[in-house]
Structure 1
Amino acid sequence: MTMLRPFALAAALAAGALPAAADEVNIYTTRQPELVTPVLEAFTAETGIKVNVAYIDSGLVERLRAEGQRSPADLVMTVDIANLKQIVDAGVIQRVVTDALTEAVPEHLRAADGSWYALTVRARVVYASKERVADGEVTTYEDLASEKWRGRICTRPGTHNYNLALLSAMIVHHGEDYAREWARGLKANLARKPQGNDRAQVKAIWAGECDISLGNTYYMGKMLEDPEQRQWAESVRIVFPEFENGGTHVNVSGVALTEAAPNREAAIRLMEFLVSEKAQEIYAEINYEYPVRPGTPVSELVASWGSFTPDTIPLEEVAAQRATALKIMEEVNFDG
């Protein structure tokens, strides 16, 4: 398999970007190499189809728009429902519907028109201090705005996509007015100004700056891998809150077929492989994420965190509320 590493990306794109051939698939992705390489190598081993990957940190939509029908990219792989919606709204994606895709990916984890499909799921959970937070003290997302958490919560900026998605889901469940008051209540309960990433919040709990934080599940696995961060992870436990009228909030990584797709048939074959039982098991083991394919087991470590009931509101409805969520975060000056 031909894998274009980040250090070779600029030269490759300058020379005409990625190659196009009937037995190859070209991918633009914002995911890290270590998160996608194993599953793509498994695809090549099974099919003989080469996969060329361009790792793009930013400007993905702008690149696809500029390239238009000349784009060498067949597939786009990215994270967060808002990013997937942005790509679709840009008009650079074509729909694809096959039995293999629709049977493997639950309805609420794919676009109704086949413009994108989720590949993995991550839950937006609470990291709770083992020392200062009792079992059962964390219950619902709505409860995070209650006064009992005053000065006890840490989080990354409210305008980050992960927190905007959670607020968007709150809007879907309860309406804009309720979501605005909830955001005000959550802000009032912060122990410090929103800052850093999800891991930084767990470090703050370990340091005694706060008692709970919002974070994605897979960061627990990443912290346990790091000798320096392991002590942060061991100071907390994962709690799965639910919406009062729903389940635990989830977001996704996903894939879409580009409008240009010079290797369309091979690309669709890869899409179907990515949601196959084999690929989903690989994802579950290496990424600490949850498979989208029903019945696929999670890794032993992920299973140790406990089970949860995912919220089943369609992610397209969540994505549609992103602009309103951003407006609310700005109105309440959440990051100020």
Structure 2
Amino acid sequence: MKRSRSARTALPIGLSLLVSATLAAPVAQAADVNIYTSRQPELIQPVLDAFTEETGLSTATIFIDKGLEERVKAEGANSPADLIMTVDIGRLDAAKQAGVVQPVESAVLAENIPEQFRDGEKEWFALTARGRVVYASKDRFDADSITYEELADPKWKGRLCTRSGQHQYNIALIAAYIAHHGEDAARQWVTGLRDNLARRPEGGDRDQAKAIFAGECDIAIGNTYYVGKMATNDKEPEQKEWANAIKVIMPTFDNGLTHVNISGVSLAKNAPNADNAVKLMEFLSSDEAQKIYAELNYEYPVEPGIETSDLVKSFGELKPDSLPLDEIAEHRTKASEIVDEVNYDGGPQS
């Protein structure tokens, strides 16, 4: 487990290895709040440090990229996990469906987080939002607006790049399309996207910006916060060139609103430190934590009234789709089936 820098005590080296390897019951008290997360720990460490400074409660994180809910389920009552933090509505819903989280009654969370950004049964709560937008070449894309529906227009044939259609971010977008237009229309749309591809889907969202910079395609689909990460990347300055080659277009559905996905948090079903964990959940929804997320991670705060960073403001106004996220989650399986049915990841076929 990665300990918060401001934690009050340090685990002995041998015990740290045991925690990482087995997470057995005897180490359930490794910290005041133990977090299983699919988010890179460095992205959340600043807010965890702020929590420790304010409350005196220590935190420990373990990064689990895949199989998070399966691991918690396998550990059962002996799991040391207090909180599950992840990205994408699909992964939050997967944890809920796996039965490894529990509802939280909190007036603070209800006040800070709008209804559309929390589970109707109070088993997950969004912390930040990110728009699923269009990256467009500054040199080769003249328009300032586009709809999601228009991305399948044949006029973009050979000009679109995306990561795998089966990636959770694209599955959520397709699921939202199903919710808006139905399965048949979504199948036609994904087929149109496939035939507009410049190449087979590959890489991550940053790689799509790189492809636009290299002239391989003119438009791509990506998350907003990656643009901020690229534009400020001093360790890999070539990414600044990728960011500078593109402009962010806020695509919309026919309701004039943009699809957003989230990062979020749930209380683990067998949390050994449940009271402390709820305190952290409430802190993560607070003004202080939301401002840290906005400034350091280039994400959109879900708490109303918290401003985004200046860089994110430069993307233009994000008007989030009003479609409930748990409704989107209901269509994830069908969205994944459609991707396979049309062989989207096989690349353009007509």
**TM-score normalised according to structure 1 size:** 0.95
Question: What secondary structure does 2:238 align onto?
Answer: coil
- Name 2:92's counterpart in structure 1: 84
1:164-186: CA deviation from partner (whole Å, max 9, x where unpaired):
11000000001001111111111
- Name 2:265's counterpart in structure 1: 255
1:285-310: CA deviation from partner (whole Å, max 9, x where unpaired):
11111001000011111112211211
- Name 1:54's counterpart in structure 2: 62
- Name 1:125's counterpart in structure 2: 133
- Name 2:189's counterpart in structure 1: 182
Which segment is superposed worse, 19-28 or 228-237? 19-28
**Any conservation in 1 of the 2:30–2:60 contact (CA below 8 Å)?**
no
- Equivalent residue in structure 2 for 1:212, among 204, 210, 219: 219
Quick one: structure 1 residues 188 and 23, their matched pair in 2 at CA, closer, same or farther if it must change by over 3 Å?
Answer: closer
Question: What secondary structure does 1:335 align onto?
Answer: helix
- Name 1:152's counterpart in structure 2: 159
Give runs of aligned pairs for residues 192-207 of structure 1, distance below 5 A: 192-207=199-214
1:245 and 2:255 aligned: yes
The total of aligned residue pairs comes to 334
- The CA deviation at 1:23 is 7.5
- Name 1:44's counterpart in structure 2: 52
**Any conservation in 2 of the 1:124–1:166 contact (CA below 8 Å)?**
yes
- For residues 9 and 251 of structure 1, what CA distance do their matches in structure 2 show? 34
Aligned Cα root-mean-square deviation (Å): 1.9
Quick one: structure 1 residues 120 and 262, their matched pair in 2 at CA, closer, same or farther if it must change by over 3 Å?
Answer: same
1:181-218: CA deviation from partner (whole Å, max 9, x where unpaired):
11111111111111111111111111111100000001
1:284 and 2:291 aligned: no
- For residues 215 and 200 of structure 2, what CA distance do their matches in structure 1 show? 15
1:297 and 2:298 aligned: no
1:66 and 2:67 aligned: no
The one-letter amino acid paired with 1:239 is I
- The CA deviation at 1:253 is 0.5
The one-letter amino acid paired with 1:234 is N
1:302-335: CA deviation from partner (whole Å, max 9, x where unpaired):
1122112110101111111011001111111111
- The CA deviation at 1:2 is 3.1
1:99-119: CA deviation from partner (whole Å, max 9, x where unpaired):
100111111111001000001
Matched-pair identity in %: 54
Question: What secondary structure does 2:116 align onto?
Answer: helix
**Any conservation in 2 of the 1:22–1:266 contact (CA below 8 Å)?**
no
- For residues 22 and 205 of structure 2, what CA distance do their matches in structure 1 show? 38
Question: What secondary structure does 2:304 align onto?
Answer: coil
1:12 and 2:19 aligned: yes
- The CA deviation at 1:22 is 11
- For residues 25 and 119 of structure 1, what CA distance do their matches in structure 2 show? 17
- For residues 151 and 335 of structure 2, what CA distance do their matches in structure 1 show? 17
- For residues 203 and 215 of structure 1, what CA distance do their matches in structure 2 show? 12
- The CA deviation at 1:21 is 4.3
Question: What secondary structure does 1:229 align onto?
Answer: helix
**TM-score normalised according to structure 2 size:** 0.91
- For residues 187 and 15 of structure 2, what CA distance do their matches in structure 1 show? 45
- The CA deviation at 1:13 is 3.5
- For residues 148 and 74 of structure 2, what CA distance do their matches in structure 1 show? 41
Quick one: structure 1 residues 98 and 22, their matched pair in 2 at CA, closer, same or farther if it must change by over 3 Å?
Answer: farther
Question: What secondary structure does 1:215 align onto?
Answer: strand
- For residues 336 and 272 of structure 2, what CA distance do their matches in structure 1 show? 36
Question: What secondary structure does 1:83 align onto?
Answer: helix
**Any conservation in 2 of the 1:9–1:55 contact (CA below 8 Å)?**
no
- For residues 15 and 212 of structure 1, what CA distance do their matches in structure 2 show? 45
- The CA deviation at 1:162 is 0.7
- For residues 269 and 3 of structure 2, what CA distance do their matches in structure 1 show? 23
